[in-house]
Chains A and B, each alone.
Chain A
Amino acid sequence: QQQVKQSPQSLIVQKGGISIINCAYENTAFDYFPWYQQFPGKGPALLIAIRPDVSEKKEGRFTISFNKSAKQFSLHIMDSQPGDSATYFCAARGRNSGNTPLVFGKGTRLSVIA
């Protein structure tokens, strides 16, 4: 049973465009939703995270939009650059559970072309 569904599997965006990656979850006990960026041969790096008490969080060119009623959240990358080309993973975790492992989506391979 996949608890976090991520789409699309791959995405090609023109330089300067907006990249949008979507995730949906099933477990209503989830209350922490991070996004990770991974380059080939490297470990995932925490990009931005949100909790369900807010509907949007922005850090630089990266924005998370969160829809609690729909149990969906998305990552928007504004002004996408070739250096943003990487695999992005959404994840989720239960309430007050720093010691509980994250549940990951399957990942989205983003390619930003000039």
Chain B
Amino acid sequence: GAVVSQHPSRVICKSGTSVKIECRSLDFQATTMFWYRQFPKKSLMLMATSNEGSKATYEQGVEKDKFLINHASLTLSTLTVTSAHPEDSSFYICSAARLAGVSNEQFFGPGTRLTVL
């Protein structure tokens, strides 16, 4: 159990276009999902916290108009990178919080590699 999927796994786009990344919790409901960005050989950098049915909470320095997050259901959150530029190229990872008694574990998706040409 506790599987989180992401789609697509890899995407290449031209500068100026928008890209949508989906994050799904496959076998549990997640009221909260998190979006991270990871640069090569670096740790995970939290971008935003996504709560089902409400606006996302963005970390300082993350442009909310550029990184649009929608958490439409208890199993789906989407991240849209608008007007993408080469500096947005990165590995984007989502995680979903599973509430199970006192566990409150977070499970990560496999990540999406975005390359902006």
Residues of A within 8 A of B (CB): 32, 34, 36, 41-46, 49, 51, 89, 93, 96-99, 101-102, 104-107, 109
Contacts and interface: CB of A to CB of B under 8 A. Distances in A.
Nearest to B104: A98
A95 B99 CA distance: 14
Contact of B106 (A46, A105, A106): A46
Contacts, number: 57
10 contacts: A32-B104, A41-B111, A43-B95, A43-B110, A44-B93, A46-B108, A93-B104, A101-B46, A107-B42, A109-B41
Contact of A89 (B34, B44, B105, B107): B44
Given A98-B97, A107-B42, 6 more contacts: A41-B91, A41-B113, A43-B111, A46-B106, A102-B106, A109-B41
A22 B107 CA distance: 22
Interface residues of B, number: 28
A39 B44 CA distance: 13
Secondary structure class of chain B's binding surface, majority of residues:
strand
A89 B31 CA distance: 24
Closest CB pairs A-B (n = 7): A98-B104, A43-B108, A99-B32, A43-B111, A43-B110, A106-B43, A44-B108
Interface string B68-98: 0000000000000000000000010101011
